[in-house]
Chains A and B, each alone.
Chain A
Amino acid sequence: MDKVVANVSAALDGIEDGMTLMLGGFGLCGIPENSILELVKKGKKSLTCISNNAGVDGFGLGLLLESKQIKKMISSYVGENDEFERQMLSGELEVDLIPQGSLAERCRAGGAGIPAFYTPAGFGTEIAEGKETRIYNGRPHILESALTADFAIVKAWKGDTAGNLIYKASARNFNPLMAMAGKITIAEVEELVPAGTLDPNQIHTPGIFVQRIFQGKAFEKRIEQRTTRKKE
């Protein structure tokens, strides 16, 4: 089955104002940067974006914040950019903060047909307010619901024409989970190869979860915190 689309513009076809998008990545690592640039170009507004973080000023989701296309962010850790803080404090931007593990599991559950699950994370905190609680194995848990999206946009290292994906190192993060939870999942990859080229033993995301795939034109892969040591 050929999932290849001609370019990033065709890949994002059908994204409309007010839709919910999932965007893979942790910090700036493993984000679908070509798609984000194209989203800015397309200018669709009032988007709800589910992403662990919200980029930085001038890069990643920071770009969509600057162009005021995001109505609501669902994330676990944000505020690495001034524009985010400004919009949040002024009330322009809705923010829903979720524990990172719960966010990951809620995406996984959304793609796995599990409507909700109990987790110990957040019990006794404000996150638990209004949520059902239940004791399992003598410990309290709270009920968290699954997340899905109109479009999930993920970034992989290698992909094939059938939509199978392989991620690199810690750029995997939320990408495989969001790939499962999109009604339509778009994968942008650094290297697109014919089906049959990738070893089926090494596939992280099977092609069944991916509807559209394209090779990104260029990847800046900006580093948020460059830390090194000197050679002795």
Chain B
Amino acid sequence: MLDKIGIAKRIAQELRNGWYVNLGIGIPTLVANYIPEGIEVEFQSENGVLGMGPFPFEGEEDADLINAGKQTITTLPGASFFDSAESFAMIRGQHVQLTVLGAMEVSQNGDIANWKIPGKMVKGMGGAMDLVASADNIIVAMMHSNKAGESKLLKNCTLPLTGVGCVKKVVTELAVLEIIDGAFHLIERAPGVSVEEIVGKTEGLLIVPEFVPEMQL
């Protein structure tokens, strides 16, 4: 079974040279720490930064330079700043090659729910609906089950949707799954995790090949 860092490391393996990448808040943010050797990517933050770098050194924080999670950041050589309309032009216009974000539920046809729980305080969708609406390549990083132990990989989402038919891949603490033609396809299992456990914890339609390789981290 993977921890959060393991999930981030596995997603980092999906990065390809030359890609522009948007990372959501939480586990997705950790992906930036595990870029494979020889791969050059640039991180986009939807509040208007391309070429995001690590957190600043203590005492060097700049209130005018933050990421989408409102955290103080730095920029790397080659960075640029832009307004929010231009930022979402990059996103909707498919100039960003990969979006990684968290989710509360994902369905077997790639629907995603990650912004609202009815009856609970609604904080808003932020940029999530724009991010999932037209990106070609969306990877969800999340735990396989919710805190109540119920599967988050469903036939149909029960929570209000963020986007429909958009998720291509899901990486959880148990497995890597691809979404093709209305079904989850088991691609890899986490070290020490059995196929049976993944089957048992996946509510949506799951296609299991004869041989399921273990993740190489």
Instruction: Give the B-binding residues of A (Cβ under 8 A).
Output: 26-30, 52, 75-80, 85, 88-89, 97, 99-105, 107-108, 119-127, 139, 157, 167-177, 204, 221-231
Contact = CB atoms under 8 A, between A and B. Distances in A.
Contact of A223 (B57, B72, B163): B72
A153 B189 CA distance: 52
Nearest to B67: A170
Interface stretch (B79-87, B137-145, B179-187, B192-200): B79-87
Interface in B52-96: 54-67, 69-73, 75, 81-85, 87-88, 91-92
A230 B58 contact: yes
Contacts of B54: 229
B217 interface: no
B61 A79 contact: no
A100 B126 contact: yes
Interface stretch (B4-12, B42-50, B97-105, B205-213): B42-50
A105 B129 CA distance: 14
Nearest to A176: B83
A225 B123 contact: no
Contacts of B56: 227-229
Interface of B: 45-49, 54-67, 69-73, 75, 81-85, 87-88, 91-92, 111, 121-130, 133-134, 160-165
Contact of A104 (B61, B65, B84, B164): B84
A168 to B, nearest CB: 5
Nearest to A230: B58
B127 A99 contact: yes
Contacts of A80: 123
B159 to A, nearest CB: 11
The dominant DSSP class at the B interface is loop
A213 to B, nearest CB: 19
A107 B163 CA distance: 23
Contacts of A76: 124-127
Given A29-B64, A76-B125, A230 B57 contact: yes
B63 A29 contact: yes
B88 A125 contact: no
A106 B91 CA distance: 16
B161 A125 contact: yes
B72 A227 contact: yes
5 contacts: A108-B85, A170-B48, A174-B84, A225-B66, A230-B57
A210 to B, nearest CB: 15
A173 B128 CA distance: 17
B66 A77 contact: no
A88 B121 CA distance: 9
Contacts of B71: 225-227
Nearest to A220: B63
Contacts of B55: 227-229
A52 B72 contact: no
Contacts of B87: 101, 104
Contacts of B59: 228
Nearest to B72: A227
A123 B124 contact: no
Contact of A79 (B66, B84, B123, B129): B123
Contact of B66 (A27, A107, A174): A27
A97 B126 CA distance: 9
Contact of B57 (A139, A222, A226, A231): A231
Contacts of A102: 129-130
Given A177-B84, A230-B58, A29 B163 contact: no
A78 B125 CA distance: 9
A176 to B, nearest CB: 5
Contact of B134 (A104, A120, A226): A120
Given A171-B63, A172-B81, A223-B61, 11 more contacts: A79-B123, A85-B121, A101-B87, A104-B87, A105-B85, A167-B81, A169-B49, A227-B71, A228-B59, A228-B61, A230-B58
Contacts of A77: 123-126
Most buried by B among A101, A171, A230: A101
A229 B49 CA distance: 20
